[in-house]
Amino acid sequence: MKNKNKLGSSGIGGQAVIEGIMMRNKDWYSVAVRKSDNTIEVEKKQYKSASQKNKILGAPFIRGVFSFIDSLVLGIKSLTYSASFFEDDDETEEEPGKLELWLINKFGEKAENVIMGCVVAVSIIFSVLIFMMLPLFIADMFERFVPGIGNRQVPVIEGIAKMVIFIGYMLLISLMKDIRRTFMYHGAEHKCINCIENGKILTVENVRESSRFHKRCGTSFMLIVLIISILFFIFIRSDVVWIKYTIRLILIPVIAGVSYEIIRLAGSSDNFIVNLISKPGIWMQKITTKEPTDDMIEVAIKAVEEVFDWKDYLKSNGIEVLDEISGEEDVN
């Protein structure tokens, strides 16, 4: 059902980190973390994406690939920052490993960027192996050892394997206590954005009542990538094993680009077809988001307010906002 109070996209987005939230708006991002002493530490920094540095990289279907890489880099930076507060709680300070020392000696001040690049590369390789190559390997095993399974059935088996592995992976990690808390912060992030985009004043009460599901979500993007890849390889087939694996590697940027455009459309549209396409991603968010506590919502609000003027956003959409807010509801 279409929400009549839904405003246009705010353009902000973020992710959950360790005991906190990262929020990004245009050239700026903030990370708010609830420390062990119960205080909230907030950091704000500027970050220019690849598409901002080079206009060609911002072209449709190309921007999706670089947006994904930017998200990984910024996400790892934010996770590292949030983790640093809890490393400080450990009485024993670990010495840098041999590899870390070698990188510092070799690259000096750029060592951190090199390490970040390596982590991003490993993350991408791991994702490709687990969610793309492993399902194809399983499908190939079915074709080789199960009677009646031929080349036409391989894409179907591969698609089923992809979905089972992805959903199973999400369910498995959701059982971990620390991940469950991260998923609660993920819910707080979505609730803040939904609160604003539904024309409500950003208070703990209003955020708590907002939905924890949002169409413009990383979980939805990952699921759409899998669905688009399944559709691609139903039509693009080969009997030669090495060609099958090579095609999947070559088409990763294309699949990511198409998936990004779908997510982008979903975030700015509320028609029936777009909502239907967004449904699987929303269903997956029942696993990757949980209801947050009020103190988690407070952290999310801090992260939002550091990079986004939500009062100005509401006013620009014709919603009156009191200059001094002490928990009142929005005034239409």
Q: What is the dihedral of CA 158, 164, 167, 173, to 10 degrees?
A: -110
Q: What is the DSSP string of 61-76?
A: TTHHHHHHHHHHHHHH
Is residue 57 within 8 Å of 63, Cβ to Cβ? yes
- Tokens standing for 208? 């708590």
> Is pLDDT at 331 greater than 50 in this prediction?
no
Q: Which two tokens stand for residue 19?
A: 């005991």
Burial 176-203 (b: 16+ CB within 10 A, else e): eeebebbbbbbbbbbbbbbbbbbbbbbb
Query: Long-range pairs for 1-8 at CB < 8 Å and ≥24 separation?
Result: 2/270, 3/198, 3/270, 5/198, 5/199, 6/197, 6/198, 6/199, 6/270, 7/196, 7/197, 7/198, 7/199, 7/313, 7/314, 7/317, 8/197, 8/268, 8/317
Least confident of 21-30, 79-88, 98-107: 98-107
Asked whether the predicted pLDDT for residue 329 surpasses 70, the reply is: no
Among 158, 112, 165, residue whose Cα is nearest residue 136: 158
Burial class (CB in 10 A: 0-12, 13-18, 19+), 272: exposed
pLDDT in tens, 243-278: 999 999 999 999 999 999 998 888 777 778 878 888
Instruction: Output the pLDDT for position 238.
Output: 86
Under 8 Å between Cβ of 85 and 35: yes
**Which region among 92-101, 185-194, 219-228 has the lowest average model confidence (pLDDT)?**
92-101
pLDDT for res 324: 46
The SS3 assignment for 21 reads strand
What pLDDT does residue 327 have?
43
Query: What is the band of 201 on the pLDDT scale with cuts at 50, 70, 90?
Result: very high
Instruction: Answer whether 270's CB lies under 8 Å from 247's CB.
Output: no
What's the pLDDT score for residue 94?
A: 60
**According to the model, what pLDDT value does residue 90 have?**
54
Looking at the predicted structure, is the pLDDT value of residue 143 above 50?
Answer: yes
* Domain range summary for the chain, segments of one domain joined by +: 13-316
pLDDT in tens, 5-18: 678 788 899 999 99
pLDDT at 43 over 80: yes
| 139-143, 223-227, 267-271, range with the lowest pLDDT | 267-271
Q: Above pLDDT 90, what percent of the chain?
A: 58
**Dist CA 128 CA 121 (whole Å):** 11
Reported as a pLDDT band with limits 50, 70 and 90, residue 187 is very high
pTM comes to 0.87
pLDDT at 229: 93
pLDDT score for 32:
97
Contact of 22 with 15, CB cutoff 8 Å: yes
- Residue 90 or 16, more confident: 16
Average pLDDT rounded to a whole number, residues 175-192: 96
Q: What's the whole-number mean pLDDT along residues 21-38?
A: 95
Residue 49: per-residue pLDDT: 82
Q: What is the mean pLDDT of the chain?
A: 87
At residue 154, the 3 state secondary structure works out as helix
For residues 90-105, give the mean pLDDT: 64
Residue 218 corresponds to which tokens in the numbers above? 């990383």
Sheet bearing 13-17, strands edge to edge: 13-17, 20-25, 28-34, 40-46
Distances (CA, A) of 178 to 20, 123, 175: 12, 20, 9
Residue pair 2/272 in contact (Cβ under 8 Å)? The answer is: no
